[in-house]
Amino acid sequence: MLNAPMKPADDRKKPFFVGLRMTKEERSILDKIQEKVGLTKTESLLKGLEILSEYYSLGLDQPPLSFELKKLEEEAIQHADALKRIRRREDALKEIIHELRIIDQIVDKYNDKNALIQILIDIQNKFNWISKTAVIWISERLEIPTSSIYQIATFYKFFTLTPRGRHLVRVCLGTACHVRGGPKVMETVERTLGVEQGDVTSDGKFSLERVNCLGCCALGPVIVVDNDYYGNFKTADVGKVLSKYS
């Protein structure tokens, strides 16, 4: 069994550039570029991505790439794939740059690593999921390990690591709603949409989730679609309500 001494974590200022691995040389190149251009690390990366996307739009396809940019480029392609849109490299990169800039704005609003959960709530609200790139970028901006972010993103029901549907259907299964027939409503919705709780329909239109109490207990059973609440809900109305959403 190997017990080779690993580079001690306190030897370098930061062991990893976010989740991306770097050798000493790669890191020093990046440091040099930063110094010369006078930008922060995240800014340099964003600039690099912009240049790369222009490079592709010119029809050239073998750019000399630093390791980190290559990683981010791979993430962008995967990301675009997950959203099932955009096939061209340069557009995928532009999409990523756009998203990263928005994430920057959200992080700047709080500028506090203790506000991680609040930041993630805003990102989930804005993009409808917490993408891998979002995790990497936040980890970089707030200087916290990606594990902390994943731990929080998987602990709380509010966050999803895969894109949610365009419309979120939440069926309340709190005690009062349960006693008033909530489970039957959930079953009917599952049957109508053809998905189970926690899934997205194949056309990306609806996400179905269970929620444990919305505070409308006197009106049980209750379902919410996006921000529209439906109280005293009858299973017979499932089809009618869902057809209101495109």
Partner 1 sequence: MVEKLKSASELTNLRERIIANRDPSKSVVSICIGTGCTALGAKKVVEVLGEEIKSKNLEERVKVKQTGCLGFCEVGPRVIVYPEEISYFKVKPEDVPEIVSQTIMKKDVVKRLLYVDHGTGETATTLEDVPFYKHQQRILLEKNAKIDPKDIEDYITLGGYDALPKALFQMTPQQVVELVKKSNLRGRGGGGFPTGRKWETTRNAPGEPKYVIANCDEGDPGAFMDRSIVEGNPHSIIEGLIIGAYAIGAHEGFIYVREEYPLAVENVNIALGQAQEHGLLGENILGSGFNFTIRVHRGAGAFVSGESSALISAIEGTVGEPKPKYVHAAIKGLWGKPTCLNNVKTWAYVPLIILNGVDWFRSIGTKNSSGTAIFSLVGKVNNTGLVEVPMGITLRNLIYKIGGGIKDGKKFKAVQTGGPSGGFIPEQYLDTPVDFDELTKVGSMMGSGGMIVMDEDTCIVDVTRYYANFLSDESCGKCVPCREGLKQIVGILNRICAGSGREEDLKTLDDLSELLRDASLCALGSTAANPLTTSSLYFKDEYEEHIRNKRCPSKVCRDLIAYYIKPESCQACLICLRNCPVKAIAGEKSIVHVIDQEKCIKCGMCIEVCPFDAIEKLSPAVPPTASYGIKVTPKKRR
Partner 2 sequence: MSEEVTLAIDGKEVKAEKGTTILEVAKANKIDIPTLCYNEKMTPYGGCRICMVEITKGGRRKLVTSCAYPVEEGLEVATNNERIRKVRGMLLELLLPLADTGPIRELAEKYGVTKSRFEAKPTDCILCGLCVRYCAEVKKVNAVCFTGRGTSRDISPMPEIAPDICPICQECNSLCPAGKIVELTQDRHLLSIPISKKKTIASG
* Interface with partner 2 (CB under 8 A): 1-4, 6, 9-10, 15-16, 18-21, 78, 136, 145-148, 150-151, 154-155, 161
Q: Measured from the CB atom, is 15 or 181 closer to partner 2?
A: 15
Closer by beta carbon to partner 2, 72 or else 186: 72
For the chain, the residue count is 246
**Do 80 and 129 form a contact (C-beta atoms < 8 A)?**
no
CB of 117 to partner 1, least distance (A): 6
| CA separation for the pair 26, 62 (Å, rounded) | 19
Handedness of CA 234, 236, 238, 244 (dihedral sign): negative
User: Nearer to partner 1 by C-beta: 55 or 137?
Assistant: 137
Structural tokens at position 123:
């990102």
**Cβ at position 241, least distance to partner 2 in Å:** 30
- In the bound complex, what is the minimum distance in angstroms from residue 36's beta carbon to partner 1? 35
**202 contacts which partner out of partner 2, partner 1, none, CB within 5 to 8 A by kind?**
none
Which one of partner 2, partner 1, none interacts with residue 55, CB within 5 to 8 A by kind? none
To partner 1, the closest distance from the beta carbon of 43 in angstroms equals: 25
CA 177 to chain CA mean position, Å: 31
Distances (CA, A) of 59 to 52, 62, 79, 92: 11, 10, 22, 15
